[in-house]
Amino acid sequence: MPTGCNFTVNSYQIGARDIRIVLVEGFLDAHTFPDLEKLLSSLIDEGIIFIVLDFEKLEYISSAGLGVLIGIAKKVREKEGDLKLTKLSEKIFKIVNLLGFSKILQIFDTDKEALVAVQKDIAARKGGV
C-alpha cells in the first residue's frame, strides 16, 4: 500500500477568532499520524481551538489516525473549541461511522458548512459566558 500524507493549512477569521482548515491528502496511518498530530498540536499551542479537517483527498485512515482525531478533539474542547470533519469519501465515512466516531465528531459535506457550524459555536460560547 502506498504511504505518505500531505497537509495544507488555510486560515480563516470569524470575528476575532482564527480558524484553520487543514486539507489532509494521502494515507493517514501508523507512519503518518504523528505528523498530523504534531501539526494539530502546534496549532493548538498557537491558540487555534477551532480546526476543520478536509478529507476530500484522504485515501485511507487507520485506527491510529482516528485515535489522533479523538485526542485532538478532546484538547480543543477543553479550551472551548472544536474539531470538525468535511468531505469524507464514502469509504472513509463508513469506517468513521462503523467505529462510532460520527457520534463524537461533527461531519459536514463542505468546508463552508463546517465554518457556519464553527460560527454558531463561537456565538453560543459568547452568549453562554
CA–CA separation, 128 vs 7, rounded Å? 34
Where is pLDDT greater, at 3 or 54? Answer: 54
CA–CA separation, 28 vs 56, rounded Å? 13
pLDDT digit string, tens, across residues 68-107: 899 999 999 999 999 999 999 999 999 899 888 889 999 9
Concatenated DSSP letters for 78-120?
HTT-EEEEE---HHHHHHHHHTTGGGTSEEESSHHHHHHHHHH
Where is pLDDT greater, at 3 or 118? Answer: 118
pLDDT at 63: 84
How is residue 105 written as a grid cell?
A: 465528531
